[in-house]
Amino acid sequence: MSAAALTNPGGAFAGLSPLRAALQSLANSQTCVSWGFWALLFVGVPAASALIKPKLGLLLLAAFVVIALIGLWGALVSSLLNQNHPTLARLVPGQPRRLRLVLVLSYLALSVASELLGRAFDEPRIGLYAAATLAYFATGVRWPLTWVTTALFGFGPLLVRKLPLDGRMLVGELLLAAASPLGLACVLAAASVYLAGFVRDGGGAHGAAYERLQKRRRALKASVAGEAVQSPWFLGTLSLRGYGRSFERTLARAAAGRAGFDRVMLALGPQSHPATMLQGVVVLTLLVAVGVIGLWLAGSFQHSAQVGEGFANAMFGLLGVMLSALQQVHASMVRRRPEQGLVSLLPGVPRGREFNRRFALALLRDYLTPWALGMAALSLLLVPLGGTRHALVAFGVALLGGGLVLWRDWTGVALIKGWLAVLIYVPIASAAVAARWALDARRLDTSELLLVAALVLVPLYAWRWRVALRAPMAWPAGRRG
């Protein structure tokens, strides 16, 4: 992104050069193969489900399109903020103005398009919802802490229901007014002004904010690669403390002569350490707990069945935590190869087949511990709500399959690119959703599901165990080049 590109005044759409730059960087971030993968996902899944039920296929397609647009919008905002360099803002005339222009125009385009689409399908409030969602996502990109508020979303309609009649009518009136053309225009105008404020004009405060943004981007990129020592969130400092305590305790045990394999596992670093995984589960549980307690305070337990179904989606959260744990282990096995080499040379460390055996067991234990605690905590919170049992069982069982990727030959391991990392989610999430559907639709009952799971997982695990033990010593990874 050269300054020349920014200052080139030629062309009718020169003012939109930031948009071009954003699209360029998005195109660069993916390879042909990954584009193919995304295309397959977007077209294949709805097509497949359309075979089962046409309406489902259409619904999925619509949902995917929405998700894609929101994703692209988020990427655009992120790119524009990245282009808003404090020095460029001062030196290049009109650059902040162009950035604002692109930001606001894209926002308006998407919102108005949604509104028109909504009117075509006779859904009057789509435009308003689109405007709100896009603004929310932009806020999230600008201030990541905003994402914490997703936990509170469930409360909106509940709070409304709690209001006295006048209150509810007032809210209804406001929404109606906002959805009207004039109202929408006002909302869009206000949002535009708000969004325009995201782009700054240089200066000390801008510089500091830009530094923080860059640090977040680097940490995000590095955390995918398993490298981040500090994550961009406030959680980052917590994660090292959990590891640190575990570190001291393990060394104390070693001093007392009871050093186990845990001491060896420390060499993989804090990202893949169970202490860190547990923190993810704890945070998730806290968020759900906040939601449930809020629900109880709002006295809405009588609606518990539908609410419960909504809360059951917290299981997706557990899925996310556990599967990212798997990714971290993989990344650590690649990145910490030199550390593995050093530790494998130390006296007292098992070698060869014995090492692989203990390593495989430690990996699975470190995966199942957060799983068990997460399942226990979430069950405690959600089962009273009702309507969540199926989700709990289905997701819990599907997550057991995740452990299979831990037992392998680590010789040829290599870093997985961003889009490939998503691959682990697809089978597990699909299995979970399918299992839940099977339970809900009474095709299977719980015990039958467990039986099916056992019949599938036990042979798979046995096979992976043999593979892991027969392989060359897992540490250092990649020893056969």
Partner 1 sequence: MTTLTLSQHAAPGGLALDGSGPAASVELRGLSLAYAGRPVLDGLDWRLLPGQVVGLLGRNGVGKTTLLEALLGLRDARAGSATLFGQPLATLDDATRARIGFVPQQSQLFDWLTPRQLLAYFRSFYPKWNGPKAEALLARWEIPQDQQIAKLSGGQQQRLSIVRALAPEPDLLVLDEPVSSLDPIGRRDFLRELVEQVLDRGTTVVFSTHILSDLERVAFNVAFLAHGKIAVQAPLAELMDDCRRLTGPASRVDAHLRAQGLTPLSRRELDAGQVAVLAAHADATLPEGLHAERLSLEDLFAELTQ
Contacts for 106 with CB less than 8 Å, ≥ 6 apart: 19, 73, 76
Q: Are 322 and 429 in contact (CB under 8 A)?
A: no
- Give the nearest distance from C-beta 210 to partner 1 in angstroms: 22
Place of tokens 């899925």: 319
Which residues within the stretch 210-229 sit at the binding site for partner 1 (CB under 8 A)? 229
The conformation of residue 150, written as its DSSP 8-state character, comes to G
Whose Cβ is closer to partner 1: residue 168's or residue 215's? Answer: 215
Q: CB-wise, 93 or 338, nearer to partner 1?
A: 338
Q: What is the rounded CA–CA span in Å between residue 264 and residue 430?
A: 35
- Tell me the C-alpha distance between 224 and 226, whole Å: 5
Residues 240-279 that bind partner 1 (CB under 8 A): 240, 243, 247, 251, 254-255, 259, 263, 266-267, 269-270
Rounded to a whole number of angstroms, the minimum distance from the CB of residue 476 to partner 1 is 6
Site membership for partner 1, residue 181 (CB under 8 A): no
Give the three-state DSSP class for 416. coil
* Per-residue three-class SS string for 335-391: HCHHHHHHHHCCCCCCCHHHHHHHHHHHHHHHHHHHHHHHHHHHHHHHHHHCCCHHH
Query: Contact, 139 vs 124, CB < 8 A?
Result: no
Member of 74, 310, 386, 472 binding partner 1 (CB under 8 A): 472
| Residue nearer to partner 1 on the CB measure, 79 or 344 | 344
Q: 162 vs 353, which CB is nearer to partner 1?
A: 353
Counting residues that bind partner 1 (by CB under 8 A) gives 30
Nearer to partner 1, 60 or 222 (CB): 222
Site string for partner 1, 276-315 (x = CB under 8 A): ----------------------------------------
**Choice between 72 and 415, CB closer to partner 1:** 415
Is 414 a binding residue for partner 1 by CB under 8 A? The answer is no
> Using CA atoms, how far apart are residues 88 and 138, in angstroms rounded to an integer?
22
Task: Give whichever of 403 and 476 is closer to partner 1, judged by the CB atom.
Answer: 476
Which region, left, alpha or beta, applies to residue 476 given φ > 0 means left and ψ of -120 to 50 means alpha? beta
CB of 352 to partner 1, least distance (A): 6
Taking residue 176's Cβ as centre, other Cβ atoms within 10 Å add up to 13
Sign of torsion over alpha carbons 137, 141, 146, 147: positive
Judged by CB under 8 A, does residue 413 bind partner 1?
no
CA-closest candidate to residue 274, choices 315, 253, 316, 245: 245
Q: Which is nearer to partner 1, 169 or 346 (CB)?
A: 346
Name which of residues 116 to 145 contact partner 1 (CB under 8 A).
none
| Span near partner 1 by CB under 8 A; candidates 291-299, 318-326, 455-463, 473-481 | 473-481
Residues 333-352 that bind partner 1 (CB under 8 A): 338-339, 341-342, 344-349, 351-352
- Residue 58's alpha-carbon distances to 42, 133, 435, in angstroms, are 12, 22, 22
Q: Which residues of this chain interact with partner 1, rule CB under 8 A?
A: 229, 240, 243, 247, 251, 254-255, 259, 263, 266-267, 269-270, 338-339, 341-342, 344-349, 351-352, 472, 476, 479-481
